[in-house]
């Protein structure tokens, strides 16, 4: 494999859960040496097995591995002077510092941007925030359930008006934040290497959600009925972009955003040529006064064929569509496997699990190795030695509780 783009770059991560750790995982995939600093109790993401139905055994921790593959882990109690000083030593030698610690505690520790930039002017500082660093709610705790889905205008408006909000899943907003932050960090790192001047990059869950819905959010300002979300399904301005139930009760998403071009083709392919020139439904401008009527016609048409029958119809007419797959189907999707979305991880207990790769592919560098996330404290001694600590000093830090080693049972 060719040399990966970030080989030789050192990243220190002081973060928990998903968004910020995932940013650092992306940098690790790109070849950076990422040192994850965890408290002796560990990142809470290590202990979410009950929520996910997976084994409690730390040797098979798919969620932690997803966000922390390819890193090294040092366990420090930064509330002690020795632990705090060790973390600062690591930061002083790093190119990038990634964190999601809230602003006030971070400043109290002396690891805020202003303090670190004064000491280490070339350092790139990547920061994940719930609501941003300015404004009246900047200090609120933020999770994707709240800052992204709810406050960010996704959970309330983007549902059928007659239904309840969707069930949220963890990580959806976090992963988008991580990619946004990785983009900013890479740009800042390029600048730092060119000029010697570091930069602070901030990405919030709230802003990421607003960016994701920006197309419809901006359009909503014109007050058109088609933008007054939440809408009923039969009020969508273009019913050829809605998901429909087939005869065998499968959901099929059709996607014909160019209504006036696609409508005649679809009606012919669906076996309803009598509707091709119907002035109630064509062109799209005429449809707007007849949307509920046309929607009911479409529901009936889509329910007249099975999923396989519709797939054949759509393929023959070269019309865009996709099956609304469940997760069991997605895990064996031939295209997803063929395009390297997945990796089969074999764990020490013999279990084989499908893990997901970050969605960046490099032609010359090839696929990065998918190494499991580090066990808590797995590299404490190694990292401290590299930072210049003697074996005696490391032993003293472990004895005093300033540092912690890996549980021998995990070896």
Report pLDDT digits (tens) over 210-258.
Answer: 999 999 999 999 999 889 999 999 999 999 999 999 999 999 999 999 9
pTM of this structure: 0.94
Question: Does residue 2 have a pLDDT over 90?
Answer: no
Report pLDDT digits (tens) over 298-346.
Answer: 999 999 999 999 999 999 999 999 999 999 999 999 999 999 999 999 9
Cβ pair 70, 94 in contact under 8 A: no
Percent of all residues in the chain with a pLDDT value above 70, rounded to a whole number? 100
Q: What's the pLDDT score for residue 167?
A: 93
Q: Average model confidence (pLDDT) for the chain?
A: 96
Question: Does residue 194 have a pLDDT over 90?
Answer: yes
The yes-or-no answer on residue 318 being catalytic is no
Core vs surface per residue 4-37: b (16+ CB within 10 A) or e: bbbeebbbbbbbbbbbbbbbbbbbbbbbbbbbbb
Q: Dihedral of the CA atoms 326, 330, 331, 336 (nearest 10)?
A: -170
Catalytic residue among 174, 225, 248, 308: 174
Cβ pair 207, 138 in contact under 8 A: no
Residue 406's Cβ-count burial label (10 Å; 0-12, 13-18, 19+) is middle
Cβ pair 175, 18 in contact under 8 A: yes
Q: What's the pLDDT score for residue 57?
A: 87
Cβ pair 98, 14 in contact under 8 A: yes
Question: Does residue 1 have a pLDDT over 90?
Answer: no
Report pLDDT digits (tens) over 117-150.
Answer: 999 999 999 999 999 999 999 999 999 999 999 9
- In order of start, what are the domains of the chain with their CATH numbers? 10-212+339-410 (3.40.50.10540), 232-328 (3.30.1540.10)
Q: What's the pLDDT score for residue 311?
A: 98
Q: What's the pLDDT score for residue 68?
A: 98
């Amino acid at each position: 494999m060719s040399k990966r783009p970030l080989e030789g770059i050192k990243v220190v991560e002081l973060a928990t859960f998903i968004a910020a750790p995932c940013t650092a995982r992306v940098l690790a995939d790109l070849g950076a040496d990422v040192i994850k600093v965890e408290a002796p109790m560990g990142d809470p993401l290590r202990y979410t097995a009950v929520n996910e139905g997976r084994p409690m055994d730390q040797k098979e921790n798919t969620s932690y591995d997803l966000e922390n593959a390819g890193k090294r882990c040092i366990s420090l109690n930064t509330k002690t002077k020795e632990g705090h000083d060790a973390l600062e030593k690591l930061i002083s030698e790093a190119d990038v510092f990634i964190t999601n610690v809230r602003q006030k505690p971070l400043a109290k520790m002396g690891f805020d941007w202003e303090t670190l930039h004064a000491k280490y002017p070339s350092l790139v500082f990547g920061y994940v925030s719930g609501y941003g660093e300015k404004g009246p709610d900047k200090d609120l705790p933020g999770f994707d359930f709240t800052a992204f889905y709810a406050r960010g205008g996704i959970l309330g408006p983007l549902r059928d008006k007659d239904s309840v909000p969707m069930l949220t899943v963890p990580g959806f907003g976090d992963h988008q934040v991580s990619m946004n932050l990785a983009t900013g960090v890479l740009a800042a790192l390029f600048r730092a290497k060119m000029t010697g001047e570091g930069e602070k990059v901030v990405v919030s869950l709230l802003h990421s959600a607003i960016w994701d819905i920006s197309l419809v959010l901006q359009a909503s300002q014109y007050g058109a009925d088609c933008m007054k979300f939440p809408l009923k399904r039969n009020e969508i301005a273009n019913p050829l972009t809605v998901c429909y139930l087939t005869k065998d009760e499968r959901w099929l998403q059709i996607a014909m955003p160019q209504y006036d071009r696609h409508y005649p083709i679809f009606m012919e392919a669906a076996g309803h040529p009598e509707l091709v020139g119907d002035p109630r439904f064509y062109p799209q401008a005429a449809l707007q006064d007849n949307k509920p009527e046309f929607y009911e016609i479409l529901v009936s048409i889509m329910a007249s064929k099975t999923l396989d029958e519709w797939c054949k119809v759509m393929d023959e007419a070269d019309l865009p569509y996709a099956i609304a797959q469940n997760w069991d189907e997605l895990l064996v999707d031939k295209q997803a496997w063929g395009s390297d979305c997945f990796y089969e991880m074999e764990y020490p207990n013999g279990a084989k699990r499908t893990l997901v790769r970050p969605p960046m592919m490099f032609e010359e560098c090839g696929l990065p190795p998918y190494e499991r996330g580090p066990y808590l404290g797995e590299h404490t001694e190694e990292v401290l030695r590299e930072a210049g600590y003697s074996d005696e000093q490391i032993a003293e830090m472990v004895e005093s509780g300033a540092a912690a080693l890996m549980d021998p049972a995990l070896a």
